[in-house]
Amino acid sequence: MHQPEFHLRLPDWLIQHLNKPLPAFISDQQKMAWVIELSRHNSANDGGPFAAAVFDSSTNELISVGANLVIPTNCSVMHAEIVALIMAQQKTGRYHLEQNSEHSYELFSTTEPCAMCMGAIPWAGISRLVCGARDEDARKIGFDEGDKPDDWMKKFSQRNISVVRDLCRHEATQVLEQYAQQHGTLY
């Protein structure tokens, strides 16, 4: 029986975007503003209204990006965070980013992680998570974020993962609201 194959490739618009000179990523604000801009582009290019990026915490180097690819790939697990983590692991050659590494890595996400992404973050070796919009902002427009523990940030802290919430929340929420106004597919 013939089995399908799955190849993960970033969308052409994102590859072109990454081939342009990147801004200096000095502050958390600059990183999040850039990731939110990616979510706008993804939404405008038939993707979901979410984006994420992995940065080296000590150098501020961009390691990888992810855009929500659920619709174009017909694959429910292709959330922006998952794509960014996969690409970071491929780039570093490590399934656990901090394993045997002198570096620590941070994930910037335009929205707090859903239940699935929440599980992937500790396994991927992320030491810091920075979020724009909140879970309730995504749910408000109709996205199903899954069953998450109320104390998820405490659980991350117990795993030595710090969490920053609400960075550029207004701007990140605007992308979600625009997606809803344009009757984007909810999945």
Catalytic residue among 5, 37, 81, 106: 81
Instruction: For residue 3, report the phi and psi dihedrals to the nearest 5 degrees.
Output: -105, 140
CA distances from 104 to 21, 56, 123, 126 (A): 24, 6, 14, 7
Q: Tell me if residue 81 is catalytic.
A: yes
Global pTM? 0.96
pLDDT tens digits, residue range 94-129? 999 988 778 899 999 999 999 999 999 999 999 999
So what's the pLDDT on residue 182? 94
State the Cα–Cα distance between residues 61 and 145, nearest whole angstrom.
Answer: 29
- Tell the residue number behind the tokens 């491929």, with chain if given: 90
